[in-house]
Amino acid sequence: RGGNGAAPTAGPVPPPALNQRCPFGPSPGLTALRDEQPLRPMRYPDGHVGWLATGHPAVRKILADPRFSSRLELMHLPFELDFDGIPSAPAGDLTAMDAPEHTRYRRRLAGAFTVRRMRLLTERVEEITAEHLDAMERQGTSADLVTAFAQPVPTLVICELLGVPYTDRSRFQGYTAALSGVDVTLEEQIAAMADLSSYIQELITAKRTAPTDDLLSDLVTDGGFTDAELAGIGSFLLAAGLDTTANMIAYGTFALLSHPEQLARLRAEPELAAPAVEELLRYLSIAHTGIRTALEDVEIDGHTIRAGDTVTLSIEAANRDAERFPDPDTLDLGRRTTGHLAFGHGIHQCLGQQLARVELTVALPALLARFPGLRLAVPADEVPLREGVNVLGGVHGLPVAW
């Protein structure tokens, strides 16, 4: 294929379908572009001629290179917006910051994700998982896995992380359900977001007066952030940690139920849980696309990306690149997945990945162990997929029976 050492051979392509699930992988149009030329010029909807990176080596190099910025105001988008202009990043959104601002936030936050805190959270993840499986069992022989399990488990884990008191939890769950629900209108979502940020403000005030044993209290007492910054961080952690993990639980279950021989392997070999989670992360690549803009001219694989050029990075295509992962479109729970980009790479690599791994390695095997007869309650092609470039990959619902 073209690529290393090759100058662009073709003119700019229009943006391909990103996050168009079929049902688990990138669209054939996207993979065809990768196999033809893994880094190539692309014409953005606003007329800008930038780049599309789809090959694993190019995506990884660009994510690791500080000459590429994550700031929203420098970006051209590979999709049309329903409104004018790119909104500015909400306070506390680390993913839209460059060094040195990013370094300040990241150091303090990383300092709060301690080994001790992760160990305490692991115990709670186990309890929360068991409680929800008990409730599913009590309730009958079928359920929507998203609302019964995949959403509430990570929501309660975030409550633990932020130290949301028990008495406030149903209120908190109401806001988060309104944010991610399928039938929720934009007005309802905006209202839920406003309720949630004023709730987080209240929580910060409470932690300042009476700190408790949780990450938010650690950040409040550390003194390095203003209340406004803390509120932004609280909302960002919620956004970063909730839908991602919830989608991986539901979509991961869907992938396993659709690959019975892999499912049987996982049931037979519990020690496969950790590599299986990594393989599901690679195979599904729910955080499918990244965007960066060059701050100066950069040479990558024989191409010159000029200062000001935006590059769209297809993580879903890179994680299915045969140059890095042999037989990439096969779900193989025992394979080596080192170097997958599902948590990103470089300075923005997911700060919550350890927690996400704990949630997935606890929740998925516990679900399979509890319901040996777990199956889809609808034909696989009727499972509603989350598609479109500005949403995470995943499912809106997953009707299951046992």
Distance of closest approach, residue 241 Cβ to ligand HEM, in angstroms:
3
Q: By C-beta, is 37 or 59 nearer to ligand HEM?
A: 59
Q: By C-beta, is 94 or 179 nearer to ligand HEM?
A: 94
The residue number with the shortest CB distance to ligand HEM is: 352
Distance of closest approach, residue 278 Cβ to ligand HEM, in angstroms:
11
Length reported for the chain = 402
Where along the sequence are the contacts to ligand HEM (CB under 6 A)?
A: 70, 94-95, 106, 161, 237, 240-241, 244-245, 248, 286-287, 290, 342-344, 348, 350-352, 355-356
Start-to-end C-alpha separation, the chain: 46
Q: By C-beta, is 37 or 280 nearer to ligand HEM?
A: 280
Pairing status of strand 303-305 against strand 142-144: unpaired
Q: How is 103-142 classified by DSSP, letter by letter?
A: HHHHHHHHHHS-HHHHHHHHHHHHHHHHHHHHHHHHH-SE
Distance of closest approach, residue 123 Cβ to ligand HEM, in angstroms:
16
Q: By C-beta, is 110 or 190 nearer to ligand HEM?
A: 110
How far is 372 from 139, CA to CA, in rounded Å?
Answer: 17
Q: By C-beta, is 232 or 241 nearer to ligand HEM?
A: 241
Distance of closest approach, residue 118 Cβ to ligand HEM, in angstroms:
11
Distance of closest approach, residue 292 Cβ to ligand HEM, in angstroms:
9
Q: By C-beta, is 266 or 277 nearer to ligand HEM?
A: 277
Amino acid at 163: G
- Cα atoms in the 13 Å half-sphere on the side-chain side of 209: 5
Q: What's 147's DSSP letter?
A: I
- φ/ψ region of 41 (left if φ > 0, alpha if ψ in -120 to 50, else beta) reads beta
Distance of closest approach, residue 5 Cβ to ligand HEM, in angstroms:
27
Helix (H) or strand (E) holding 314: strand 310-314
* CA trace torsion 272, 276, 279, 283 (10° rounding): 140
For residue 210, give both structure tokens.
């009476």
Q: By C-beta, is 15 or 394 nearer to ligand HEM?
A: 394
Please give the backbone phi and psi of residue 305, each rounded to the nearest 5 degrees, phi first.
-95, 120
Query: Is the separation of the CB atoms in 361 and 273 below 8 Å?
Result: yes
Distance of closest approach, residue 355 Cβ to ligand HEM, in angstroms:
5
